[in-house]
């Protein structure tokens, strides 16, 4: 049985030993590192773990992964955390088995939904929102792989895990040919970014080998159906599954499907996702394509993003293609890059213009090895929290008192992930880490 109170006490004790470069950065870390455990985590049936996203009473498959991921760094100090992370994965797998097209779920079959639409297809009482986002099916595998590789813990890699993987792979294969899918999302009210065009089917696409996604990790509708960062993320988790299968008894039929899917997607990324930047004609990664010649040149703060690809393991941060892409998206060429008196960085069409997201600022640091640069991003985030000791969703570049979401656990834990990376690099450069 998981003793949540004891875990909170141990994590809090650890956080108080953390030494960063400023009192404000330390105070922010100490407050939010235990916030997820204290205020978003709920132990169910002594094993399943529900993780609310923060100020919304639902569990996102993607968000919950990144909310929990930083705790992996403490499993050697606090071994009980492995059971907690296992419980989160167990709950995620249950949700995926229930509906692989849903992105967010209720704690119970309460019937609560983000919105009720007569025009939309019915959703079950367990589902909060049924937006098909390919990253939602990647994130739990990512967490499962990281738990194994960073701690050696393997109890979660059971028959149920591989059965769910099979379902995920079959869903991806089906959505390589979205024209044959019965999935639609047609919301009758709200902004255009909250529904799919063409009667809920989405804009037309041509076959590329990649997997179609209805929505971005921002929960906004894709302009074009092939989300490149999401497909890169699929390649990453397929590589992780191949690695895990080498230590597990996995059916050869499933391995064959994984290998074929990986080959198809990689072909699609290389032949449709790597494009020429209009002004310089240099090759960079697109954000979205449709396989019919249309390209969306941008990046969004939400992960997976183009910025985050080295963090996810798709490409080296020193790779020339990534460096050119990074230069493009961290400039005014990206329509969602904003610069002002206090902040500059990537925002999102999900929030107002001129609002930069702390998640993207932290991701700039998480894709860098420069200690001074990382410190700068930590400092920027901690000094623009409007003295709330919380990381927000988006912050106005000219006035940090203007922000969206008082409480956003994913942003909090991405800051913590960066702080832990800062401490790791410090220890490595000082020779203290073995």
Q: Which helix (H) or strand (E) holds 404?
A: strand 399-404
Q: Map residue 224 onto helix, strand or coil.
A: coil
Provide the greatest CA pair distance for the chain: 62
The pLDDT mean for the chain works out to 96
Place 434 in a pLDDT band, splitting at 50, 70 and 90.
Answer: very low
Mean pLDDT over 80-107 rounds to 97
pLDDT value of position 45: 82
Mean pLDDT over 306-332 rounds to 98
pLDDT value of position 255: 97
Q: Are 295 and 289 in contact (CB under 8 A)?
A: yes
Residue 381 has pLDDT above 60, yes or no: yes
Burial of 110 (0-12, 13-18, 19+ CB in 10 A): exposed
In the numeric block, which tokens belong to residue 218? 């921002």
pLDDT value of position 190: 83
pLDDT value of position 233: 99
Place 428 in a pLDDT band, splitting at 50, 70 and 90.
Answer: confident
Q: Map residue 105 onto helix, strand or coil.
A: strand
What does the alpha-carbon distance between residue 252 and residue 217 come to, in Å, rounded to a whole number? 32
Domains of the chain: 4-430 (1.50.10.10)
**Tens-digit pLDDT profile for residues 269-301:** 999 999 999 989 999 999 999 999 999 999 999
Closest CA to 59 of 87, 78, 79, 34: 87
Q: Map residue 86 onto helix, strand or coil.
A: helix
Place 433 in a pLDDT band, splitting at 50, 70 and 90.
Answer: low
DSSP string, 335-383: TTEEE-SS-EEE--TTS-TTEE-HHHHHHHHHT---HHHHHHHHHHHHT
- Of 180-189, 255-264, 336-345, least confident by mean pLDDT is 180-189
Q: Are 196 and 184 in contact (CB under 8 A)?
A: yes
Burial of 157 (0-12, 13-18, 19+ CB in 10 A): buried
**Tens-digit pLDDT profile for residues 104-147:** 999 999 999 998 766 567 899 999 999 999 999 999 999 999 99
What does the alpha-carbon distance between residue 25 and residue 34 come to, in Å, rounded to a whole number? 15
**Tens-digit pLDDT profile for residues 322-362:** 999 999 999 999 999 999 999 999 999 999 999 999 999 99
Contacting residues for 196 by C-beta, under 8 A, at least 6 apart: 184, 185, 186, 202, 214, 221
Please report, in angstroms and rounded to a whole number, the separation of the first and last CA atoms in the chain: 33
What does the alpha-carbon distance between residue 382 and residue 18 come to, in Å, rounded to a whole number? 15
């Amino acid at each position: 049985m998981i003793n949540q109170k004891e875990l909170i006490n141990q994590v809090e004790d650890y956080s108080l030993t953390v030494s960063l470069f400023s009192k404000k950065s330390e105070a922010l870390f100490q407050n939010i590192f235990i916030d997820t455990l204290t205020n978003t985590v709920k132990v169910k049936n002594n094993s399943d773990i529900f993780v609310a996203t923060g100020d919304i009473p639902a569990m996102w498959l993607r968000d919950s992964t990144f909310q929990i991921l930083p705790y992996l760094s403490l499993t050697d100090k606090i071994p009980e955390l492995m059971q907690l992370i296992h419980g989160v994965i167990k709950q995620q797998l249950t949700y995926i088995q229930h509906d692989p097209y849903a992105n967010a779920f209720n704690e119970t079959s309460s019937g609560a939904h983000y919105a009720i639409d007569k025009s939309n297809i019915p959703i079950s009482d367990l589902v909060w929102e049924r937006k098909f986002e390919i990253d939602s099916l990647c994130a739990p595998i990512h967490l499962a792989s990281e738990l194994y590789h960073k701690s050696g813990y393997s109890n979660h890699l059971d028959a149920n895990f591989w059965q769910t993987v099979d379902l995920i792979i079959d869903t991806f294969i089906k959505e390589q040919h979205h024209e044959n899918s019965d999935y639609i999302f047609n919301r009758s009210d709200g902004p255009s970014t909250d529904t799919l065009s063409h009667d809920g089917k989405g804009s037309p696409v041509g076959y590329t080998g990649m997997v179609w996604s209805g929505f971005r990790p921002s929960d906004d509708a894709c302009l074009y159906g092939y989300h490149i960062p999401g497909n890169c993320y699929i390649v990453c988790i397929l590589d992780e599954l191949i690695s895990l299968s080498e230590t597990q008894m996995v059916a050869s039929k499933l391995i064959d499907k994984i290998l074929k899917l990986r080959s198809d997607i990689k072909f699609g990324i290389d032949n449709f996702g790597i494009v020429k930047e209009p002004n310089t004609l240099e090759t960079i990664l697109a954000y979205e394509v449709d396989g019919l010649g249309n390209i969306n040149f941008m990046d969004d703060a939400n992960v997976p993003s183009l910025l985050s690809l080295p963090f996810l393991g798709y490409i080296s941060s020193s790779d020339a293609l990534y460096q050119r892409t990074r230069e493009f998206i961290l400039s005014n060429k990206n329509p969602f890059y904003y610069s002002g008196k206090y902040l500059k960085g990537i925002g999102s069409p999900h929030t107002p213009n001129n609002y930069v997201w702390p998640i993207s600022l932290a991701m700039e640091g998480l894709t860098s090895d420069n200690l001074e640069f990382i410190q700068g991003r930590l400092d920027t985030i901690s000094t623009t929290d409007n003295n709330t000791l919380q990381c927000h969703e988006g912050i106005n570049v000219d006035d940090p008192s203007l922000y969206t979401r008082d409480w956003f656990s994913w942003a909090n834990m991405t800051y913590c992930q960066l702080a832990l990376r800062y401490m790791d690099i410090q220890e490595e450069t000082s020779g203290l880490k073995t």
